[in-house]
Structures are given as C-alpha cells and as structure tokens.
Amino acid sequence: MVAMPRWDPNAEDRLREAALELFLEHGYENVTVAEITERAGLTRRSFSRYFADKRDVLFAESERLPAALAHSVRGADETLTPFEALLTALLDVTRGLADEPSLAAQRRAIVHASPELQERGRTKLAAATDAVAEALRDRGTAEFEATLLAEVGVAIFRTAFERWTDQPDQVGLPARIREAATDLATSLGTVDFATLPHP
C-alpha cells in the first residue's frame, strides 16, 4: 500500500474523479463508498469530510448553486432590470464553476441513467429557482414575475449546461448561457401575439 499524506488539498477532486470513474464502469447502484475511497487512495474519514453519501458526490456542486445565484442577484447593480440581474448572476456564477466539462459530461450521463438521480437533480434545480425568485422579489420584482423569470433563468442554465457538456471543446459555460439567452430573446421577438388564439 502506498503511503498517503494525512492532508491532501486535492482530496475532494480525487474522490469525485474516482467516484465518477467507478459509477461509469459499474453503474451508480453497484458502487460503494469503500470502493470510491480505495480507488482514490483515501480513507472513509476523508470522504466524510467532503460528502454526506455517494449521491452527494454528484450533487455537491449544485448544492452551492441556489445560494450563489441568489447572492449574485441581490448584489447585481441596482440599475439593471430584473432579467439583466438574473443573467448577470448566471454568468458570474458559471464563470466560477470548478467542473471540467468532461467531468460534468460524465456526471450528466450517470444522472441521466437513473430516474432517482434525475429526480434529485430536478429537486436541486427547483431549489435554485426558489432562491432566485426570492432574491428577485427582494430587489422589488413582483411576485409572479419573479417566479417566471427565475424558472426561465434556470431553464437557460439547464439548456446551456447540456450544450456545454455535449460540445465541451467549443466554448465555456458562460458563453453558452449568453447564447441561450440571446436565442430565447430572438425566439420571443418573433411572436406575433395578435395572431395567437384568444382565450
């Protein structure tokens, strides 16, 4: 057995990489925490320092998303419109995301293969939506408009994230966010509300 340093600044990353490898090799359900720590050359105690359980390895990053987005929305320049504040927050927060696109793509594939993990992912994004809506309301955005914009902001995030992990070599996640928002503005700009069915 190789001697490991007692404190390893890369322990969290190594555990995450080992877990993703094992999940992809054997299927998420069939991997134990013991196998993850063994592959990473670390102890159960190191694992517990960073993650609650093996599911948490996949979602620790998105755990931070609601608070980070809400903080950034609240801190955005007060001259910005609500949607500008929201997009600024999405751009700021995704610039700071630690994930490599290839790791993010692996994680996405693992989550996609399990209905339970997909539900978990949706719950996380719903928490982000709620946090953003509350932050927008704190800026003075009306109740339902805040909900709508927060939902749409998270839809932009989710789609941009998919595209980024699908085509990781082209541009970064913030550029994908900007692209999705621009596409959406263009699509909505084409709508002729007068020709739609009237309620």
| CA gap 92, 89 in Å, rounded | 5
Q: How far is the CB of 114 from a copy of itself (least distance, A)?
A: 13
| CA gap 193, 78 in Å, rounded | 31
| CA gap 137, 41 in Å, rounded | 47
- Asked if residue 55 binds a copy of itself (CB under 8 A), the reply is no
Restricting to residues 163-192, which ones interact with a copy of itself according to CB under 8 A?
Answer: 163, 171-172, 174-175, 177-178, 180-185, 187-192
If you ran DSSP here, which 8-state letter would residue 197 be given? P
Binding-residue total with a copy of itself (CB under 8 A): 52
- Asked if residue 155 binds a copy of itself (CB under 8 A), the reply is yes
| Binding residue (CB under 8 A) for a copy of itself from 48, 81, 102, 170 | 81
Exposed/middle/buried for residue 47 (C-beta within 10 Å: 0-12, 13-18, 19+): buried
Cβ–Cβ < 8 Å for 163, 106: no
- Residue numbers of the site for a copy of itself (CB under 8 A)? 81-84, 87-88, 91-92, 95, 115, 118-119, 122-123, 126, 144-145, 147-149, 151-152, 154-156, 158-159, 162-163, 171-172, 174-175, 177-178, 180-185, 187-193, 195-197, 199
